[in-house]
Amino acid sequence: MKNKEKEVLKKSLTRSVLLLISIFSLIFGILITIEGITNNKKEKEQLISYESNGNIEYQINLKENDFYNIENTNFKNIIGKYIDNINLKFNYEFSASNLLNSKAKYSLKLYLVSEYTVNNTKEEIWKQEYELIPETEEININSGIVTISKDITFNYDEYNEIAKRIRIESGVLTNSYIKAEFTINNSLELTEKNITFNDEHTLIAKISLLENITTFEKINEYNNKETLYNTISENTNYPLLITGIILLLVSLLFLIQSLKMFINTSAESKYIIEQNKILKRYGDVIAETSTKPNLEDTNIIEITNFIDMINIEDELRIPILFYEDTKGKESWFFIINNDNVYRYILEVKFKNKKI
């Protein structure tokens, strides 16, 4: 019996391992299939790289004075009453790694703005626009470089006097400033790749008025480096998908077979346990025989509970004979009394069927 138990245990362990392998294979097949369906294979193709620069230069021309011993300067802060005129220069440079077509539109406007402060918030009360350079278009064909420089020179006192008049006439203690805006919109076309894009910027120079110390401020200067890519994507990885489906089907079949084998082994284990239990507990009234009895001319009475066999043995005082078939799947416990045979059958069962 011990050998049978060891054999069944060995089968159980082996089939449990096979069941686990089949489950993991099935999961792996599912994951590969999903990956094959959802895998986004992306490749980047560099289209163009470019650099765009924008800066402001200014020069302050001074009146004759005993304070500054220079004719012009680019100080950020300077005594306002000594300023004669101011020159502003706006520079735009674009350079690309490929030849392209460029249509650059630009304009230059100057604004005189007066504002006042209420509740710590600055509010505009007056604004005058001066169009210094109307919108202009400059076209470049098959070129990788675009350079535009525009400058203006204006009289500082002229705008300062206007700001003073606004303060006096409004009766409000206003603050004023000049704001010069250079706007450029560069439309670019990479013809060989049929790609279009824009490079758009606004450079601003701000100059204070009505102050003892005039302040110069440069806004939105920039230096940008960009690279444009074309992304090529493939939504389905077909080799991976086919591999996953094949593994999924094989794993599913293997899992079904492993489950059958595992359940079969479980049924055999229950059979061996029950058989050992009977033989150990009632071994003194059971005699084992290696010969299958011939019951053709007998009256067979099937017993469904082994306890009833014990009661019959106790009443008739006839030992219980035990016979197991060579396959080890069915055990007969029987008592022969003349033409009557009392029989209890212990068998391996799977889904209410004999194995």
Q: For 194-234, how does the pLDDT look when each residue is reduced to its tens digit (9 = 90+)?
A: 889 999 999 999 999 999 999 999 999 999 999 988 776 65
Question: What would you measure as the largest C-alpha separation in the chain, in angstroms?
Answer: 149
Domain final position from 269, 294, 322: 269
Phi, psi angles (nearest 5°) of residue 224: -115, 135
For the chain, what is the domain count?
A: 3
Same domain, 82 and 145: yes
* Residues near 295 by beta carbon (within 8 Å), at least 6 away in sequence: 341, 343
Using 50, 70 and 90 to split pLDDT, how confident is the model at 183? very high
**Residue position matching structure tokens 């006839």:** 318
Average pLDDT over residues 328-346: 89
Q: Are residues 134 and 220 in the same domain?
A: yes
Q: Are residues 112 and 190 in the same domain?
A: yes
Closest CA relative to residue 271, chosen from 345, 175, 343: 345
> Comparing C-alpha atoms, which of 176, 206, 180 is closest to residue 114?
176
Tokens read off for 70 = 């220079």
Give a yes or no: residue 178 inside a domain.
yes
Tokens of 35: 């990956």
Model confidence band, residue 120 (pLDDT cutoffs 50, 70, 90): confident
State residue 172 phi and psi, 5-degree precision.
-115, 135
Q: Over the stretch 246-301, which tens digit does the pLDDT of each residue have?
A: 877 777 777 677 666 555 556 777 878 788 888 888 989 999 888 888 888 899 99
**Is there a contact between 111 and 178 (Cβ–Cβ < 8 Å)?**
yes
Instruction: Give a yes or no: residue 229 inside a domain.
Output: yes
80 shares a domain with 173: yes
Whether residue 241 lies inside any domain: the answer is yes
User: Do 69 and 162 reside in the same domain of the chain?
Assistant: yes
Q: Are residues 159 and 110 in the same domain?
A: yes
Beta bridge partners of 140: 102
* Confidence check: pLDDT of 185 > 90: yes
Domain assignment of residue 352, yes or no: yes
CB 320 within 8 A of CB 309: yes
Assess if residue 295 is contained within a domain.
yes
Share of the chain above pLDDT 90, in %: 53
Beta strand extents in the chain (DSSP E only): 41-62, 72-73, 77-79, 83-118, 121-155, 175-190, 195-209, 213-219, 222-234, 286-288, 299-303, 320-324, 330-337, 340-347, 349-350, 353-354
β-bridge mates for residue 131, sequence order: 109
* Single-letter code of the amino acid located at 272: I
In terms of Cα–Cα distance, which of 97, 114, 62 is closest to 228? 97
- Percent over 70 (pLDDT), the chain: 83
15 shares its domain with 102: no
In a domain, 276, yes or no: no
Same domain, 133 and 203: yes
Residue 158, in any domain of the structure: yes
Mean pLDDT on 85-103 = 95
Query: Is position 66 within any domain?
Result: yes
Q: How large is the average pLDDT for residues 100-108?
A: 95
Q: How many CB atoms lie within 10 A of CB 302?
A: 9
Question: Do 112 and 214 lie in a common domain?
Answer: yes
CA-wise closest residue to 288 among 279, 296, 297: 279
For 113, counting Cβ atoms within 10 Å of its Cβ (0-12 exposed, 13-18 middle, 19+ buried), the class is buried
Which pair of structure tokens corresponds to residue 11?
Answer: 């089968």
CA distance 309 to 326: 23
Judge whether 176 and 137 are in contact, CB under 8 Å: no
Residue 333 domain boundaries: 282-355
Answer yes or no: do 245 and 225 share one domain.
no
Is the CB of residue 80 less than 8 Å from the CB of residue 159? Answer: no
Query: Using the 8-state DSSP alphabet, how is residue 35 labeled?
Result: H
Do 225 and 172 share a structural domain? yes
For residue 12, what pLDDT band results from cuts at 50, 70 and 90? Answer: low
For residues 200 and 348, membership in a common domain is answered with no
Q: What is the pTM of this model?
A: 0.57
